[in-house]
Each structure stands twice: as C-alpha cells, then as structure tokens.
Chain A
Amino acid sequence: MTTKEHDASVYEHMQESSEFQDLKRRFRRWTFPMTVAFLAWYLLYVLLSGWARGFMAVELVGHINIGLVLGLLQFVSTFLIAWAYSRHAEKKLDPIADKLRHQVEEKTK
C-alpha cells in the first residue's frame, strides 16, 4: 500500500507543477478550439446540404459545382488539421511530455 500512496503523491505533485500545467495548457489550447472549429465547419457543410441546395448546385467549372468543391474542401481541411496537429504535438508537446515522464519514472523507481 505504501508504494501506491507514494505513487499517488508523485502524480499529484507533478499535476501541480508549472511545467505540467504548461503542457496541459498547450495541449488543450490547441485541440479544444480546433475541435470546435472543425465540427462547426462540418456542421455548416451539412446545413448547407440541407437548406442551401440552390447554392450547392451552382456550377463553377463545367459540371463541378459548389457542393462538390465544399465536400472536397472537407477532405483538404481534414488532411491539413491532422498534419498541423502532428507538427504541433511533435514540436510543442512531445519534448515536455518526454521530460516529465523521465522525471516521474525516476521518482517512482
């Protein structure tokens, strides 16, 4: 039981540390607004598909209409957000996470 209590206090200690709070902030400040943004963008697309059909049917080039372009842009935005997240995680999150992990592992050995 003593080791468990010891572990718990290590985790609580870490949770309160400014470095961990910084990691948490960096993670949430990027992912939470981005989630709201891509869900809103997706919902906008679905709403347009339901209520703005004349607009979606407007042809831009040949038979390629706004609906198709907006749909393809959903693919593009998904690929870009995925790529941007992985860059953010590699540059801003992984180094801190690795460092903190080593710290905790040293203490709980």
Chain B
Amino acid sequence: MSSTTLGMILFLTFVAATLGITYWASRQTKTAADYYAGGRSFSGVQNGLAIGGDYMSAASFLGIAGIIALSGYDGFLYSIGFLVAWLVALLLVAELMRNSGKFTMADVLAFRMSPRPVRTAAGVSTIVVSIFYLLAQMVGAGALVGLLLGITGEAAKAWTIVGVGALMIVYVVFGGMKGTTWVQIVKAVLLMGGAALVTVLVLGKFGFNLSALLGQAASVSGPEANPQSFLSPGLKYGTEAQGLAGKIDLISLGLALVLGTAGLPHILIRFYTVPTAKDARKSVLWGIGIIGVFYLLTLVLGFGAAALVGREAIAAGDAAGNTAAPMLAQAIGQEIFGDVGGTLLLALIGSVAFATILAVVAGLTLASSSSFAHDLYAHVFKRGQASERQEVVVARISALVIGAVAIGLGILAQGQNVAFLVALAFAVAASGNLPAILYSLFWKRFNTAGAVAAIYGGLVSALLLVIFSPVVSGGPTALFKTADFAWFPLSNPGIVSIPLGFLCGWIGTVLSKEYNAAKYAEIEVRSLTGVGAEKASEH
C-alpha cells in the first residue's frame, strides 16, 4: 500500500470521527451559550488541549520545522515569541476577560462604552484578523496536498481547498463551539503524539545526544563557508546583508509575535468555554505546557530534518520548507523500520498535518462568525433586540458565508506567497485589539472614543504599512513583483503600529469627556472577583 493511500485512510478516519463528534455536539447545542461557548462546561484540561489545538497551526508545525530545517536557529526565534506571548494572556487577560465578557472580544470592550461604535470596530477587527489567518491556512492546505499526496495541478489544489472549507463549515455550523472544541482536542492529542513519536525516533538515532544531532545538522545543511552559523541566529531574519533595517524588522516581528496572541479573537473566545475564571487560568497553564513542549519537539524535528534529509532535498520539495517534517518522518521511519515504516510514518504525519489545518480553520471561522452575529447583527443592526434564536441562526449563516468567502479567496490566492498573512494577523491583533483590551480592563479613564481610535488606529496603520512594505511590492518575492511602491522598509509593521495603536487609544480617550465611574467600578469589581460572571449552562 502506498503512503498516499494509507495517509488518505488515516485522514478519512479522522474526518469520520470528527463528523461523529460534530453530530453529537449538534444535538447538545440548543442555546446561544451552547453555540458560542460550548455551554461553558469544558474543564480546564480540556480547554487547555483545545487552546493548543487552536494555536498549533500548520504554520507552526510545518512552518517552524521548515524554517529550522532550511535556516537553522532562526526558526527557534519564532517559536519563542509564540510561547512567551502566552504569559501576557495568562497574567493580564484570560481570567479578567472570562469574568467580564460573554461570547466575543467585544463584550469586554462594550461593557462600559457606547456599544454600537465599539462593537462595530471590534467586529470589523475580529473578522479582518480571522480572515487573514484563515486565508494563509487555506492556501497552505492547497500547497500541502500537492506535496503530500504527490498531486500536482491547480484543479487538485482548488478541490482540496473546497474540501477543507466544506468540512470546516460543517464543523462550525452544526457543531458550534462544542463540536469545534472537541475537534481541537482530538487534533491536539494526535499532533502531540505524532510529533513526539518522530522526535523520540530522531533523538534515539543520535543516542539522545542533542549536540551530535546539531553537529550533523550543521555539517549537512549549514552554509558551506561557515556550517556552524546554522546553529546561531542570522541566516534568515536580519541577515548581515539586510543591514540595520533587517535587524529592526526582526525586533518588529518579535514584538508582534509576543503581543499578538492575547489579541487574537479565536484565542480569546476560548476563555469563555470554561465555567469559571479559575478554570480559564488552569486552561492557559495547560495550554502553555502543551504548546511549550510542542515547540521543543519542533526544534528537534527541524534540526532532525536538516541532519537526516538535508537542506537541498527539503528546499527541492518546497521552497519554504513546509515538507521538512513529513520528509523527516519518512526518512527516519525507513531507516529504522524499513520501507513499510517510512510509508507508515509519512502517512501518519501527513494526515496529522491535514487534521491540524482543518481544526485551525474551524476555530477561525467560529470566531469570525460569532463576532458577526453577536456584535454586528445582534447589537449593531438590531440594537440588542435580536432573540437568542435569531442570533444563533445568523451565526450559522455567517459561518457558511465566511467559509465560502475563505474558499473563494483561498483558490484565488493559490500559488501566491501569503505566509506574511499570519505575521500580519498577529501585528493587527497586537496593534488594535490588545491596546483596546488592556485599556478597558486597567485604565479607569478609557472611553468609547479611545476604544474606537485604538482599534481602527492599530488596524489601519498595520494594514497600510504592510501595503507599502517590501512584502507587497518592489522585489522578487513580493506579491506584486512588477510594481514598486514600497517606501516602508520593514516587512513587519509591529514596531510602528503597536505603539501607534496604544497612542491612538490614549489620544482618543483624552479628547473625549465621556467617563462613567459607576460602570468602571462594575467592570473592575466583576473582573477581579467574578461577581455576575456568566455561568456554565445546565444540561
């Protein structure tokens, strides 16, 4: 049996199991709290796994392993930013948000502000961030199928995107948060298991001597002139050739990674799926443990691929290195267990990668459709007069529409270099959402004008700076290769747009006289003590 057939069987088993879960979840989903927040009845451990499932995207599994395999140490910089970011979420956001919000990020912001402008801004920002992230994953899915299943041609890639999109719509529309959370949990367990298995095999081959693994990685895949430079920073980000701008770009990327996580809408709504703030804390603790261990595994996978498969073979498979992990699985399996082992491990890692993409896109679709229905439809269009039932119907329809839009855009963007969209989503989240969230939780004087200014200021500045960056025009790797309107030298806008978002929030606030002492007292007391926090629903 070929690895393609076996991979398909494993993947279809995952699909069948998750569809079963979705069917079960759909029968349990009755109220708005069920649909948006899974009835708030997940335990801390379950939600911790789901946080890992939502966060460990194909970009971090295949992408980081690929960057390490091709450029060595620099891939590690990415995973560190992604991990440390969780401390912001744990210390400043998770519990307070669970205590003061209901279904979406905007609930916290709208608490003491004029609801319509704030919800509009937060809804727009949620949808923009989620769609960027979603698009990057969809295009990645199309590219991955070609590489893993050996299928070439635009039509096959387009059909893959349609298939992934259709499944994600089914999970979200029928399963709601309950179904989606279980899909994340199953995926997190599979991903951790698969990555751990390959890691142990790779380390075992080197007698569990990390230094020996690194040495071979450098000598096989390092630059000829100086192989050891493969093991220290500087081959990809802020290379000496890029000069000062490249190094500032590195800091800019680091800032967006570390501050973006606590502003990502699909991560924030995870805190609502548990019964209390203490469970939210516990789930982030579990999330940090799982994600941290996972990034340590990708470190071994990346250097393992560099040592055992080699930079050249990996780059030939995919210029961005996305196939490093699957190729490593095949190589190590073959070496230890023969041909059957290679086939088996490749099939396993390939199907885990698909499960990963599927789960992440479902989480993003849920976040954006929830915000559309709860913030824009129920509170802005209907001014809070929509019934729960209407709201959930609209949420389901918008999940369908957003899913269809993502499929369409994913097919159109096929073959484009859209990897920058993930970094851009983090930059927008850090520049617009994070200032608004932190100010509303901690700054007494903060008001509607400030919230609106922070969100739009951060969102628009991050977008504009990227449009005028080398990512979009003026270079061989740019989106538009022939045009050149790149006057902003950095690919990552964070170092400018994050301070600008905070500044806009401050200016907006002091320019407006609005201040509601009673409402501030209420959100402060509620967020710290949990008074009046939404309860888990009874089943």
Question: A residues engaging B (CB < 8 A)?
Answer: 7-9, 11-12, 14-15, 20, 23-24, 27, 31, 34-35, 38-39, 42-43, 45-47, 49-51, 53, 56-57, 61-65, 67-68, 71, 74-75, 78-79, 81-83, 85-86, 89, 94, 97-98, 100-101, 104-105, 108
Contacts and interface: CB of A to CB of B under 8 A. Distances in A.
A2 to B, nearest CB: 14
Given A75-B83, A75-B295, A82 B285 contact: yes
B521 A89 contact: no
A46 B250 contact: yes
Interface in B514-539: 517-519, 521-522, 524-526, 528-532
Nearest to A88: B91
Given A8-B518, A20-B525, A82-B90, A63 B296 contact: no
B288 interface: yes
B238 A50 contact: yes
Interface of B: 73, 76-77, 80-81, 83-84, 86-88, 90-92, 95, 209-212, 214-215, 218, 228-229, 231-234, 237-238, 247, 250-251, 254, 258, 278, 281-282, 284-285, 288-289, 292, 295-296, 517-519, 521-522, 524-526, 528-532
23 contacts: A8-B521, A14-B521, A35-B88, A38-B84, A46-B81, A46-B250, A49-B77, A50-B250, A56-B232, A56-B233, A61-B211, A62-B212, A63-B214, A64-B211, A71-B73, A71-B80, A74-B80, A75-B296, A78-B292, A82-B86, A85-B90, A100-B529, A101-B529
B490 to A, nearest CB: 13
B218 A24 contact: no
B79 to A, nearest CB: 9
Given A38-B87, A42-B258, A78-B292, A67 B231 contact: yes
B288 A82 contact: yes
Contacts of B282: 86
Nearest to B293: A75
A64 B292 CA distance: 20
A104 B528 CA distance: 12
Contacts of B80: 42, 45, 71, 74-75
B90 A97 contact: no
A85 B91 contact: yes
Contacts of A8: 518-519, 521-522
Contacts of B86: 78, 82
Contact of A104 (B87, B88, B295, B525): B525
A15 B232 CA distance: 51
A78 B83 contact: yes
A69 B80 CA distance: 12
Contacts of A56: 232-233
Nearest to B216: A63
Nearest to A9: B518
Given A42-B84, A62-B214, 20 more contacts: A11-B531, A15-B524, A20-B529, A23-B528, A24-B524, A42-B80, A43-B251, A46-B251, A49-B238, A53-B233, A62-B212, A62-B215, A63-B228, A63-B231, A68-B231, A75-B83, A78-B87, A79-B289, A82-B289, A100-B525
Nearest to A54: B232
Nearest to B438: A35
B352 to A, nearest CB: 23
Nearest to A13: B521
A34 to B, nearest CB: 6
Contacts of A86: 281-282, 285
Across the A-B interface, give the 8 residue pairs with the lowest CB-CB distance, nearest first.
Answer: A62-B211, A49-B233, A57-B232, A63-B214, A8-B518, A15-B521, A46-B254, A50-B247
